[in-house]
Each structure stands twice: as structure tokens, then as C-alpha cells.
């Protein structure tokens, strides 16, 4: 999870988030190259003597047309690649349904074991020692590690958004509509998120906690929940 004075993203816990972080670094390098070129040209204009000689205007127009086009292609191609990767859901191992309410989440595991539970933020007074204030919940979402999980997201009342930064997931929850996304947790751990759509007075108090565990642990947990 994020900490104080952190300047970069949270550590990636899914292949999609690793791709997003790589594209972020790539875009920053392109922006740095553009800024360096503009700064060099400004410095050159301020320090060099003005010359009355002119060059062919067609050559200048050719350069300032082709260079921006090349920059846009350098940004567009990897961006489109990641967009298609995020939209592709091939034979998920598990389907999870997340329903947003004011101000808690309901989760349904319908295709593996048919059970449902509500997830409320743990009040500060009941928070165990060492847990995170305003981020811990009474019932975590447990998913198997290294398995493709499809998340169907909707809402019961107003707009919400199911977002877990470490997994590279952010999907709007809209009443009367089903949106879907997917992720694959590449390592075990506990990953924190929050509702990312202003949904009312207690918008800040409906966190999301996803715990990735080995498959055997997940099966034991699901058996306990369904019994």
C-alpha cells in the first residue's frame, strides 16, 4: 500500500499493473525528451546572435509535422496494446460479483461456491493493533493466487467505483448496469483500495481489501464460508 512521501506507484501485484507502470515510465521519458529539446532551442535562441539568413520554410514545416506525429505514435501504440489487454477476459478461473451500497460492498461467489457476504469498514475503536485505519474491513475478499479472476461490478443505489491500485483495477459501479474487469494476483499478499467515485457523505469509509492466497488456503476458506 502507499506510504508517506511516496513518489511512485504502489508495488505491482498483477501483470496488468506492471504493464501500466512500464507505460508510465515510457511516457515520462518521451515527455523528458520533448522538454529537453524545447529547453535547448530556447537557450539557443536567447544566447546566439540573430541571423538574417533564412532556410526553406517547407523543410521546417516538414520537421514540425513529422516529429509530433512520431511522438504520438510512440505513445499510442503501447497505450492501445495495454487497453486491449485490460479488456480481454479469457476463461476466468473465478467470477466475483461486487455490489456497491451506501456505504459498504457486497460480494457474491456464485460459480465456485454459492455464498454472499457484506464488507464494512472496521471502526477505529475495533481495529486490531497494526491494522490500517480507514482501510481495514470486517470481511476481506479472498482470491486464489495466480488465477484469473473476473469481477462483475454494479451498484444498488448511486455511482461507486471498485478500485485496487496494486492490481491495476478500477471499474465504475453503476446502478442497473453490469461492468466487468479482471485481474491476476501474481503473488500472495493483502491489497487495499477504496471507492473512487464520490458517492455521498461516507464515501471515504467504504474501503476494499483483497487478499491473495494459495489455492489450498482459498478452498479451505470457501468451504468455511459456504458451510
What tens digit of pLDDT does each residue of 98-146 get? 999 999 999 999 876 678 999 999 998 888 888 899 999 999 999 999 9
* Domain final residue pick, 68, 87, 106: 87
Do the domain assignments include residue 10? Answer: no
Note the pLDDT tens digit of each residue in 39-81.
Answer: 998 898 888 776 655 556 677 788 888 999 999 999 999 999 9
Beta-carbon contacts of residue 154 (< 8 Å; ≥ 6 apart)? 97, 98, 99, 100, 173, 174, 175, 176, 177, 178, 179
Grid cell of 163 as nine digits = 478500485
Check whether residue 102 and residue 69 sit in a common domain: no
Question: Contacts for 215-218 with beta carbons within 8 Å, 24 or more apart?
Answer: 215/144, 215/145, 215/147, 218/142, 218/143, 218/144
Grid cell of 57 as nine digits = 520554410
Exposed e or buried b per residue across 68-92, where buried means at least 16 C-beta atoms within 10 angstroms of its C-beta? eeeeeeeeeeeeeeeeeebeeeeeb
Residue 182 to residue 140: CA distance in whole angstroms: 18
**Contact present, 141 and 125 (Cβ < 8 Å):** no
Check whether residue 46 and residue 114 sit in a common domain: no
Q: How far is CA 147 from CA 92, 128, 182, 225, in A?
A: 8, 30, 10, 20
Which pLDDT value is given to residue 129?
A: 87
**Contact present, 163 and 151 (Cβ < 8 Å):** no
Which pLDDT value is given to residue 29?
A: 95
Residue 123 to residue 136: CA distance in whole angstroms: 9
Check whether residue 29 and residue 59 sit in a common domain: yes
pTM for this prediction: 0.84
Which pLDDT value is given to residue 58?
A: 78
Do the domain assignments include residue 217? Answer: yes
User: Which structural domain range is residue 120 located in?
Assistant: 94-226
Specify the length of the chain in residues: 227
Check whether residue 66 and residue 102 sit in a common domain: no
Do the domain assignments include residue 6? Answer: no
Check whether residue 147 and residue 115 sit in a common domain: yes
Amino acid at each position: 500500500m502507499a506510504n508517506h512521501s511516496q513518489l511512485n506507484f504502489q508495488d505491482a501485484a498483477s501483470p496488468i499493473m506492471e504493464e501500466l507502470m512500464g507505460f508510465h515510465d515510457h511516457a515520462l521519458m518521451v515527455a523528458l525528451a520533448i522538454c529537453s529539446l524545447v529547453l535547448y532551442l530556447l537557450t539557443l535562441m536567447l544566447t546566439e546572435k540573430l541571423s538574417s539568413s533564412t532556410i526553406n520554410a517547407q523543410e521546417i514545416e516538414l520537421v514540425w509535422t513529422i516529429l509530433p506525429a512520431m511522438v504520438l505514435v510512440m505513445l499510442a501504440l503501447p497505450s492501445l496494446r495495454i487497453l486491449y489487454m485490460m479488456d480481454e477476459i479469457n476463461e476466468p478461473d473465478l467470477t466475483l460479483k461486487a455490489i456497491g451500497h451506501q456505504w459498504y460492498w457486497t460480494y457474491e461467489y456464485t460459480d465456485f461456491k454459492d455464498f454472499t457476504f457484506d464488507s464494512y469498514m472496521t471502526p477505529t475503536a475495533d481495529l486490531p493493533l497494526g491494522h490500517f485505519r480507514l482501510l481495514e474491513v470486517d470481511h476481506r475478499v479472498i482470491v486464489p493466487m495466480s488465477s484469473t479472476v473476473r469481477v462483475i461490478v454494479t451498484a444498488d443505489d448511486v455511482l461507486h467505483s471498485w478500485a485496487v491500485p496494486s492490481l491495476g483495477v478500477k471499474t465504475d459501479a453503476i446502478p442497473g448496469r453490469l461492468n466487468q474487469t479482471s485481474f491476476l494476483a501474481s503473488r500472495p499478499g493483502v491489497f487495499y483500495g477504496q471507492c473512487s467515485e464520490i458517492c455521498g457523505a461516507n464515501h471515504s469509509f467504504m474501503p476494499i481489501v483483497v487478499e491473495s492466497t494459495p489455492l489450498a488456503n482459498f478452498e479451505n476458506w470457501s468451504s468455511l464460508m459456504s458451510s
